[in-house]
Every structure is written in C-alpha cells, then in structure tokens.
A = this chain, B = another copy of it.
C-alpha cells in the first residue's frame, strides 16, 4: 500500500502511495543559488528515477528560498530544467533552511508508474 525507499529514522527520501510519490525536501551543494539549484534538481531527477517517475511527471513543487533576492537566479536554472510543456504547479516563499549555507529547498510531489503509450 505504501512503499518507502531510502528510509532512515527521521525521514524517507521517497514515499510512494496510490500513484503519487512524495520526495523529502531536496537541497544542493554549491556556493551560489544557481549551483545549489542545479545540484538540487539533479538529486530530484535521481530520486524520481528511483521512484519509477521522471521530471515530466511532477505535480507540485514548493520552493523555499532562504533569501527572496535569489528568486531570479533560481528561476533561470529552474526554467531551463523543466521539461517543455510539463511544468508542475509551483509556489515559492522565503524560509530559512536547516543550515545557514542552504539557499534553496524544493519539495516535490509527482506521479509514478508505467507510462501509457
């Protein structure tokens, strides 16, 4: 009924249920928000692949920036990454993150499963 992947005591990186996969909040390494966003989205891709999903099946993305001044720089990376015609519903707000060095965190919900032809 529920499938959990990469499960620790605090959280699972992937939780699958009823056609929808929930990823834990993803962050990235790097000195700039552009670098962190790239790394973050690369991790999202890896997790989605593990979940039998893909970036063109994201339903909702909630983006937290530690400083809203980074909005345009984050968006440049985001816009280039999103598969054309398959952008998710998105919201972006400012929130301090778990470590001071973190500039961006993205919470992804996606569909998974075999694609119909």
Task: Give the shortest distance, in Å, between A76 (CB) and chain B (any CB).
Answer: 10
In A12-38, which residues have CB < 8 Å from any B CB? 12-15, 17-20, 22-25
Contacting residues, chain B, for A97 (C-beta < 8 A): 68, 93-94
In angstroms, Cα B96 to Cα A71, docked, is 11
24 A–B contacts, CB within 8 A, in A order: A1-B57, A1-B111, A1-B113, A2-B57, A2-B86, A2-B111, A8-B87, A11-B61, A11-B89, A12-B89, A15-B59, A15-B60, A17-B19, A18-B18, A18-B19, A20-B59, A22-B59, A22-B88, A23-B89, A24-B89, A24-B91, A25-B91, A93-B105, A94-B95
